[in-house]
Amino acid sequence: MDALLSLVKQIDAPGSIQFLVLSILAGFAIMFVWPRSRRAGRLWLCFISATYLLLALPIVAHAIAGRLPPFQSNEVARDRPLDALIVFDGDNRRGRVAESARAFETGAPKEVWVLGSEEEWLLEELPLAGVPVGRIRPDTSTLTTRDQIAWVRRFQAAHPDSHIAIVASRLQMPRVAALAAEADIDVTLLPSPVDWEPPVTGARVLVPMYIALRVSRDALYEHAAITYYRRQGWIGR
């Protein structure tokens, strides 16, 4: 199962470049490896092209993202002083940096923990956004969202009176919120914007854009992840 999940992550969700390349190669394979199936291969390539064109429309991207489960971000506690700010690494890193900088300015946490991969992009960009290097604490032991929530649960147990906030992309936050509820941890959720938000009004919502394709891809990934988490019993319905 772990090997299958790793393969799925490498292929990525529809809307990603990896998925597009794999789909195009599959279409050409159908056309030229099995000559009698050339019509099927052409139809497949037309289908993939049309799908990506639709996913690149801002109106479609917002519709897909809007179907993610709602969550409570605790607006009352949003600007309270913080003891610890915990940033989950992941997609839309620019948005996470922007929200972390805002939270640091208003909450002045003593520590800013960065949980996730071994890539140092966040560690390099947070100081440039105004977060002092001396307050940043990296932890590369948490490779999944479930690992990150388990880490937060242990951290809160060791600091029971602390006000803790989590920063994650607005698209990932429904899954984070569901896991936090299952873990029964009391934290403030700070959803960050995606790196570049597609337009929401005007004629441009009907113009294909790469930034909209990215939102569609990330939202589809979250839909799939939430469905999988529910089937595994890791979060409620």
pLDDT over threshold 60, residue 3:
no
Question: Which range, of 34-48, 133-147, 200-214, averages the lowest pLDDT?
Answer: 34-48
Task: Write down the pLDDT at residue 75.
Answer: 56
> Could you identify the residue written with the tokens 């140092």?
120
**Neighbour-count burial of 222, counting CB atoms closer than 10 A to its CB (0-12 exposed, 13-18 middle, 19+ buried):** buried
pLDDT over threshold 50, residue 176:
yes
Work out the average pLDDT over 11-19: 72
Question: Which range, of 3-12, 24-33, 48-57, 81-90, averages the lowest pLDDT?
Answer: 3-12
Look over the chain and give the mean of its residue pLDDT values, rounded to a whole number: 88
Work out the average pLDDT over 58-72: 94
pLDDT over threshold 50, residue 199:
yes
State how far Cα 123 lies from the chain centre: 18
What amino acid is encoded at 223 in this protein?
Answer: H
Q: pTM here?
A: 0.86
> If pLDDT is split at 50, 70 and 90, which confidence band does 101 have?
very high
Task: Write down the pLDDT at residue 164.
Answer: 94
pLDDT over threshold 50, residue 1:
no
pLDDT over threshold 70, residue 229:
yes
| pLDDT over 70 percentage in the chain | 91
Retrieve residue 4's tokens: 């299958």
Q: Across the strands, what pairs with 166?
A: 86, 189
> Could you identify the residue written with the tokens 């394979």?
29
Task: Write down the pLDDT at residue 19.
Answer: 80
Dihedral of CA 223/225/228/230: which sign?
negative
pLDDT over threshold 70, residue 158:
yes
Query: Model confidence over 21-42: pLDDT tens digits?
Result: 887 888 888 777 776 677 888 8
- Whether 186 and 165 have beta carbons less than 8 Å apart is answered as no
- Whether 78 and 188 have beta carbons less than 8 Å apart is answered as yes
State how far Cα 3 lies from the chain centre: 21
> In sequence order, which ranges of the chain are alpha helices (DSSP H)?
2-11, 17-33, 38-55, 58-66, 93-107, 121-128, 145-158, 173-183, 210-232
> If pLDDT is split at 50, 70 and 90, which confidence band does 4 have?
very low
What amino acid is encoded at 144 in this protein?
Answer: T
As annotated, the residues of the chain forming the CATH 3.40.50.620 domain(s) are 75-192
Task: Write down the pLDDT at residue 2.
Answer: 43
pLDDT over threshold 80, residue 79:
no
Which range in 9-23, 39-53, 92-106, 109-123 is most confidently predicted, on average pLDDT?
A: 92-106
Q: Fold for 75-192, please state it.
A: Rossmann fold (3.40.50)
